[in-house]
A and B are shown apart, each in its own frame.
Chain A
Amino acid sequence: MKVKESMGRKVFLVSNALILGLVGFLCLAPMLHVIASSISDPITLARERGFHLWPIAPFSFEGYKAVLGYQNILTGYGNTVFYVAAGIVFNLFLTTIAAYVLSRKRFMPGNVIMLFIAFTMLFNGGLIPNYLLIVRMGLVDNRLAVILPSAFNAFNLVIMRTSMKEIPEALEESARLDGANDLQILWHIIIPVSQATMAVITLFVAVSIWNSWFTASIYLTDRAKWPLQLFLREVLINNSQRSLNAGVKASAMTLQTLVKYCVIVVATLPILFIYPFLQKYFVKGIMIGSIKG
């Protein structure tokens, strides 16, 4: 049914679209500024500051070349990739097993255990007792201090359990009649049909660990174990050039402003490239998580 639209309606639609365009621009602008600045002429950039949506000519890739020469940034990158990978493995392992068991109707204490775990979403010990636990476990300056606290999360369990509950029981029944045990059912039947949910959890975990810095900042003093974000903090927040200085000649000093932007791009781009493709998955994840949460 095609309705002829009134003048007022047209004005509304156009101004609505324009405002949304402005919102989109505002969301994008800071990142555009960073990218434009990262390939600008280093000398003019250091002098002018301000806001740039377009790089200052002559374009320069000196900053990116310099970033590749900073040992700290490379160390941080390597560590972050390691923490993300370890986090994904731990989270998928613990979440999948727990969700499988807790979504089985024949597992009697399921609801009690679920409550026991879900309660931790509402109330927890807070910063200091958690900190002391890690200290008492002797994990200060140990990579496990970063990996273990984020190895499992009740929110992800809720998402996974909900999606596993929706899998028809008949699928499992036939396998059980054939004599399959629970590990076999999980591996051969449940996991293959849960891949979309596992992708959601992988994405959530990857983004949160990639961007996390606080845990590492209180437990790790050894710079060799620092994730990228801590080096970034040194460069961006503390305004210390320590991360960038090591092994760099004085001639590179003019590059410092430029390098700041390059480091942001290098640290942020991987995630900004991935998320649009996984959008449909995390939208689904948020829905399940918040409705059943």
Chain B
Amino acid sequence: MNWKQLAANYRSNKLLYWMILPVICFVILFSYVPMFGLTMAFQDYSLVKGIFGSKWIGLENFQDFFTSMYFGRTLRNTLVLSFFDLLFSFPAPIILALMLNEVRRLRYKKLIQTISYMPHFISMIVVAGLIMEFTNSSGVIGSIVSAMGGTPKSYISLPQYFRPIFIVSEIWQHVGFNSIIYLAALSGISEDLYEAARIDGAGRFRQMLNVTLPGLTPTIIIMFILRCGAIMNLNFEKVLLLYSPSTYETADIISTYVYRIGIIKQKIGYSTAVGLFNSVVSFALVLTANKISKTYTEVSMF
């Protein structure tokens, strides 16, 4: 594409160019201007002096973060929480989809599907409120524990229970909704393949192993790549609603730290640096996962 062709293209499609202009301006203002704002990470940013007047301090903000006690704690919490989330929340919708796929009564299948989507539509605030109610000492979990002879505690304010509570509620919220994509992939597997497997004498289990799973693999890989990119972007809003100073030890992740230090304490330059660290690691993770997948399985996003 050269400029002459572009000019000619503009002359014959003027209206299209003018129509897309507001959208481009919008994207520049709300996506690219903040990207430019990332330069604050390298400044001793002052709200009064602004981005053009503040002093450049190189990597000092990053050094401060890497040497502070928060670096180890927030990075560890982010990675550990994400790892367990990946371990349990990622396979759950695949298993649910496989189980739903075996149901012969279509109305029953449809009913369970619809019900299982429901938690996805409940707001984070309500979900967090319910979690707090169920896990306090007089809540459901507390009553079960006291029925079994134990002493109920306020689980959400104890650091050792934060991760299990987070993961279990995460599965509850998204298992149904996330199974949609796998169900769609399952319905795309040709019936002929199953027929052929049956003729070859494969039982139901062999059919699942040799027909269903291979048919599902590309979808699983794509979802896995996407999920890897989200390792650093855990459900930040949920952590923010559920954690408290008494659980920071296990619950404070990088993004909640950025929120506290940036929005509450207004240390703009420093918090931008911490946020940038998070985004760069996250971006690198997507690219790596995509690259690995491309090399070994020939499935990739880009």
Contact = CB atoms under 8 A, between A and B. Distances in A.
A81 to B, nearest CB: 15
A57 interface: no
B16 A101 contact: yes
A182 B100 contact: no
A285 to B, nearest CB: 10
B115 A24 contact: yes
A290 B218 CA distance: 12
B37 A236 contact: no
B103 interface: yes
Given A31-B118, A126-B258, A232 B184 contact: no
Contacts of B16: 101, 104, 106-107, 182
Contact of B275 (A21, A127, A214): A127
Interface string B97-126: 001101111001001101111110111111
Contacts of B13: 104, 106-107, 182
B19 A100 contact: yes
A97 B23 contact: yes
A23 interface: yes
Nearest to A126: B275
Contact of A28 (B118, B130, B222, B226): B118
Q: Which of A27, A109, A120 has the most chain B CB within a 10 Å cutoff?
A: A27
Most central of B102, B121, B140, B272 by chain A CB within 10 Å: B121
Interface string A174-194: 000000011100000000000
B80 interface: no
Interface in A88-143: 94, 97-98, 100-102, 104, 106-109, 113, 116-117, 120, 122-133
A7 interface: no
Contacts of B262: 127-128, 131
Given A16-B99, A27-B172, A275-B121, A286 B180 contact: yes
Nearest to B30: A149
Interface residues of A, number: 80
Interface string A6-46: 00010011001101110110111011001000000000000
A31 B121 CA distance: 12
A264 B126 contact: yes
A229 B241 CA distance: 12
Interface stretch (A66-74, A165-173, A266-274): A266-274
A122 B286 contact: yes
B15 A183 contact: yes
Interface stretch (B1-9, B65-73, B159-167, B245-253): B1-9
A28 B114 CA distance: 10
Interface stretch (B83-91, B209-217, B276-284): B276-284
Nearest to B104: A13
Contacts of B119: 27, 30
A233 B128 CA distance: 9
B19 to A, nearest CB: 5
A31 B126 CA distance: 10
B207 interface: no
Contacts of A214: 237, 240
B15 A124 contact: no
B38 A129 contact: yes
A101 B9 CA distance: 13
B113 to A, nearest CB: 8
Contacts of B22: 94, 97
Given A51-B140, A113-B20, A126-B34, A182 B118 contact: no
Nearest 4 pairs between A and B by C-beta?
A125-B34, A236-B129, A129-B37, A211-B123
Interface of A: 9, 12-13, 16-17, 19-21, 23-24, 26-28, 30-31, 34, 49-51, 94, 97-98, 100-102, 104, 106-109, 113, 116-117, 120, 122-133, 148-149, 151-152, 154, 181-183, 207, 210-211, 213-214, 218, 229, 232-233, 235-237, 260, 264, 267-268, 271-272, 275-276, 279, 283, 286-287, 290, 293
Interface of B: 1, 5-6, 9, 12-13, 15-17, 19-20, 22-24, 26-27, 29-38, 40, 96, 99-100, 102-105, 108, 111-112, 114-119, 121-126, 128-130, 132, 134, 138-140, 143, 172, 175-176, 180-181, 184, 204, 222-223, 226, 229, 237, 240-241, 255, 258-259, 262-263, 268, 271-272, 275-276, 278-279, 283, 286, 301
